[in-house]
Each structure stands twice: as C-alpha cells, then as structure tokens.
Amino acid sequence: MNDVLILCLVLVLAKALAQLGLERLNRRNVLAHAKVLPAAFNGVMDQATYAKSAQYTLAKGRLRQIEVVYDAAVLAAVLWSGVLPWGLHWTQQTLGRAACSMAALLVAAGLVLSLSGLPLDWYDQFGIEERFGFNTTTQKLWWLDRLKALGLGLALGYPLLWLVLKLFEWMGPGWWLWAWGALLGFQLLMAVLAPLLILPLFNKLTPLPEGSLRERLLGLAGRTRFRARSIQVMDGSKRSRHSNAFFTGLGRFRKIVLFDTLIQQLAEPELEAVLAHEIGHFKKRHIPKALAAAALGSLAGFYLLSLLSRQEWFYRAFGFEPGNLAPALLLFGLLSGVVTFWLWPAALWRLRRHEYQADAFAAQVMGGPGSLIGALRKLNQKNLSNLTPHPLYSAFYYSHPTLLERERALARDYEL
C-alpha cells in the first residue's frame, strides 16, 4: 500500500471515528437528561412526550452509527479493492474512451453507491419512522420516489458530467473555470425550473384556499413587501407527519409552500410567524449569500480538482493511468467528504446565525416573539426533536439553533 492510500485510509478512519464519537457524546447527553423533563422545557412537552423524544433520538443515533461504519467500509472497499480501475478498463474496452463513455462510468458508479445505502434508508422509513408514528408513505410510493430520483439523476447528471469532461478536452488548462461556470449556470437554471418541473413530480401543490389564513398570510406578505406568485399547500402528509414551510423559486417564479401537516399542527398566528421567519431569510438576503458561498466552495473544489488532475502520483496511487479526467473526478467526489466534514462547523455556524436573524425579523414583524415561540415549541414537540443535544454534536450537524438557544436569543432581544 502506497503513502497516498495510507493517508486516505487515515482520513476515512478519522472521519468515521469522529462521527462515532459525536454520536456517543450525544447519546450520553440525552440519557443524562432523559429521566426527568428539564425545567426549561415546561410547557414544551409533557414527561411522556419528552421520554418518547429521547427514545426517538437514541434510535436515530443507533442507526446513524451503523450508517457511519457501513459508509466507511463501502468507501474503503471501493478505493482499495481495485474495482475502480477495473471498471474504467472495462468501460474503455466496451464503450470506448470518449467523454460520453466516461460520463456513463461516473453515473454508473454513483448509481451503485446510492443503491448500496437503500437498505438502511428503507429501515429508517419503515422501521424507526414507522415505530414512532411519523411514517405515512407506502412501499409502492417509497420505491416510486427512488425510481423518479434515479431517472432525474440520469437525465440531469449525465449531460452535466459529459459537458465537464468535454470542457477538459476543449479548453486546456483553464477548463476548470469553464466547468465551474457551467455548473453555476445549471444550478441557477434549476433554481427556477425545479419548482415548476421537478417538485410536482413528487408532491401535489394546490393553492391555499380562500379564508382567514390566506388573508392573514397575504397581509403579512404585503406588510413585508414580499412578492410571491402564490401560496401553495404541499401534500407532505402522504409521506410523513413531519412538517415544514419554505419558499422556492427565483424572481417572479417564487412560491410560498406550506406542508399540509404544518397547517394541521399550528394556529393561524403561529403559521404567520413561521412564514415571517421564512420571509426574514429573504429580507436578510440569506439566499443569495448561501448561493454565493456555495459558488465559492465549488470554485475552490474545481481548482483543487484541476491541480490533482495534473498529478501523475494521484492517478497511479489508485491504479489509474494519468491523462483522463474521469478517474480524478470520481476520486475527488469519493474523498472530498473526508475533508469537508471538518469544515462543516464553520458553515453551520453561519447558517445558525442566519436563523437567529430570521427569528428576530419575524418577532419584529409580529410585534413580539410570542407567536414564533409558540410555533417553535409545537414543532419541536410534534417532531420529537432532541431538546438536549451535546453542543459539539449540534456544532457538527445542526443547521438550526436548538429550541432553548432560539428562545434565549428572543428573550434577550425583548427582555422577556
């Protein structure tokens, strides 16, 4: 085994051990608070619901530990078994060396890896989610969703990969800038088209019916000068009892989308506060900031890929011959996660900061934090959220502050 393979093995093991350590820390923290409802959460959950939420968190954590070990084992097997060079050789002998053949290899590799995780995904849905009363989907719908996702992956991923490989052939040393530009253009196009063409493939969207809720939400949009094409209700209840709200699309194609489960769970002022929070993200320009951060991240990724694609040692360490971008692209995709994992706390810190800002905006628009706090408490209770995660665990995995952190921030702003 060469030094590069040893280094990659160390990185894979370091990530897996860190993830297992975080799961253990979180489990211990949950168990330390599980017997008695902490006083800070009086009014959020009763003791029975709190105990159920702890069991839900522990069950999810056990599955996550299995996933960590399984993913690390699969990645190690793929990288060190020699299957990747064999696959490339077979593809070149069978389909040729053209970009269309190499793109097919990359899509096939992604497909095989995604299929390997289906058993654990299935157990999560029909084991844990079913046991705790969240699952409402059927076997037929679950498998149909996977087939649709597979079809979309082929229809969208294959042409994009082919284009990147052709740009490598056409544009010389600066290919990575052109490839980054193509990816950025594709992402912006999908931001416009996905709500119109892709979202309806999975969910039915219907206009929010006339009535007091619609008038209340339209009034909020008017007060905040938030222009949206429509307010839509999504039939999320056909898959899960979890709830959400979001707006999607760009410009005049923007839509406000409410899960039907959310409408069932919250009172009208609370729904208005949730929507005010989402509008807060728009008003604080969090969406373009997130897009810009993602664009810079992908730019750095393409630059690093361009450097690796010129290194003979990188290819030969994994059994490939230099000069073909496809192996470098495949290896980069497989290994990037073992590095970016350690950068997630910084990215998530920024996202949690955005959540605080959106909360403050919603409280200001609503004339106080009461409705928002009521909504957050109900959502945490209905979703059996972990109210006592370990701080290090939430730093690595939580894009939103905990309920207690959000309430304390609102209390400071309004001196509650």
The catalytic site residues sit at: 278, 359
Q: Residue 236 carries which DSSP code? A: G
Would you list the DSSP string of 78-131? HHHSSHHHHHHHHHHHHH-SSHHHHHHHHHHHHHHHHHHTHHHHHHIIIIIIHH
Single-letter amino acid code for the residue at 18: A
Amino acid code (one letter) for 81:
S
Phi-psi region of 215 (alpha: psi -120 to 50; beta: other; left: phi over 0): alpha
The label of the residue with tokens 């109900």 reads: 378
Q: What is the DSSP string of 133-166?
A: T-B---HHHHHHHHHHHHHHIIIIIHHHHHHHHH
Q: Cα separation of 163 and 174, whole Å? A: 14
CA-to-CA distance for 409 and 61, rounded, in angstroms? 28
| Interatomic CA distance for residues 385 and 30, integer angstroms | 11
DSSP 26-54: HHHHHHHHSSS--GGGTTT--HHHHHHHH
CA angle, residues 144, 150, 154, in degrees to nearest 5? 145
Candidates 375, 415, 184; CA nearest to 267 is 375
- What burial class does residue 298 get, using C-beta atoms within 10 Å of its C-beta: 0-12 exposed, 13-18 middle, 19+ buried? middle
- Alpha helices of 153-267 — where are they, by DSSP H? 158-170, 175-193, 199-202, 212-223, 260-265
Yes or no: say if 298 and 183 are a contact pair by the CB < 8 Å rule. Answer: yes
- Token pair in block for residue 128: 């844990």
Q: Look at residues 236, 231, 227 and name the one whose alpha carbon lies nearest to residue 272.
A: 231
Report the C-alpha gap between 249 and 196 in whole angstroms: 8
Tell me the C-alpha distance between 217 and 363, whole Å: 15
